[in-house]
Amino acid sequence: MNKDKPGLMKMIRAPFLSSIISPLIIGSLLGAYINGSLDILNFLLVFIMGICLHIATNVYNDIYDTLQGTDKINVNRNEFSGGSGVLIDYPDLLPAMQRTARIALICALITTLLLMTRIETNLKIVLALLYLSSAFFSKYYTAAPVKLAYRGLGEFFVWLAFGPMAILVAAVSQNVGFKPLIIAAMPITGISTLSILLIGQMIDLDADKATGKWGIAARAGNRAAAIFYCVVQTILFLNVLLVALHYLNNGWPVLLSVIPYILFAPRIFKIVLNEYDNADMLKKAAGINVQLHLLFSVLFIIGLIITLLLN
């Protein structure tokens, strides 16, 4: 490959893999909390599985958003979300990106099959369905003929994939299924990732509308998207309080994760509610929101680890 062309890390949008790392760790720690111990090998297998599925999702989204024109006409590209723009500048990389996505799905399948041999029989069907659903969503979130993101379903499936599905598959790897604690924690990481998508949609409004990518911003306008963003972030805050104070014994360390919300959320809320049609200000809010997302995730994980040690 020409040294001037983007490498693999650019094609798979490596920095955004953090969105799947967090729920995989959190779901595994919650499973360990319920069982009293962490199965390290199973954690590594589900970690590889989740990373590979996310790589496939990132690459397929880039491919089909470019082929369908959304990335080509986007004049407000946002470094904190959205496509990489690789195929716009280097269209000859299309075969390499398609190959990368397929290899990622195969690697995810292999780790799923290995994990299948190490979990309880009643959870095997759950794991199989989670893999098949994730593989389907990875391509058809943007690909025809399904194009979930173009049919006004993008927000739901981002929340589902990075929240309930990711938390559950990690818990299943620890031989834990639909326990009350797992169910209560399922929405949290999905909402945190959804928040990145929502601000990205506000920035990409014109391009999304022109190509029929009907997210909430394109359907109802940026003001509605801004209000929705504030609502779901508030729900996340309350969800964390519920899990920490009701479902975990000595769960107070998890409350460390709400500190970034106290510090950053009011500033982001002010920007998105007052500057919802200002792309430059929204990009600033997107940057702060990614910091919030990362700090929240790290502190939530640290809080869970401390809680495990206390118990």
pLDDT tens string 222-232: 999 999 999 99
d(CA 291, CA 274) in angstroms, rounded, equals 20
pLDDT at position 77: 56
The single residue listed with the structure tokens 């929340």 is: 159
The pTM of this model reads 0.91
Q: What is the pLDDT of residues 2-46, one digit of tens each?
A: 556 777 787 788 777 888 999 999 999 999 999 999 999 999 999
Q: What is the pLDDT of residues 180-189, one digit of tens each?
A: 999 999 999 9
pLDDT at position 217: 92
Q: What percent of the chain has pLDDT over 90?
A: 71
Which amino acid does the sequence have at 37?
S
- Categorize the per-residue pLDDT at 73 as very low, low, confident or very high, splitting at 50, 70 and 90: very low
d(CA 77, CA 66) in angstroms, rounded, equals 13
Please measure the distance between the N-terminal and C-terminal CA atoms of the chain and give it in whole angstroms: 52
- Lowest mean pLDDT segment, chosen from 32-46, 102-116, 140-154, 165-179: 140-154
pLDDT at position 3: 53
- Categorize the per-residue pLDDT at 68 as very low, low, confident or very high, splitting at 50, 70 and 90: confident
CB 242, CB 184: distance < 8 Å:
yes
**In the predicted structure, residue 78 carries a pLDDT above the cut 80:** no
| DSSP code of residue 141 | T
pLDDT at position 129: 97
Element (H, E) at 102: helix 94-116
Q: How many CA atoms are closer than 13 Å to the CA of 166, on its beta-carbon side?
A: 32
Which residues contact residue 188 at a Cβ distance below 8 angstroms, ignoring those fewer than 6 apart?
26, 163, 167, 236, 239, 240, 243, 300
Rg for the chain, CA atoms, rounded: 19
pLDDT at position 270: 96
pLDDT at position 82: 57
d(CA 27, CA 74) in angstroms, rounded, equals 36
Q: What percent of the chain has pLDDT over 70?
A: 93
**In the predicted structure, residue 120 carries a pLDDT above the cut 70:** yes
d(CA 245, CA 249) in angstroms, rounded, equals 8
- At 219, list the tokens: 């359907």
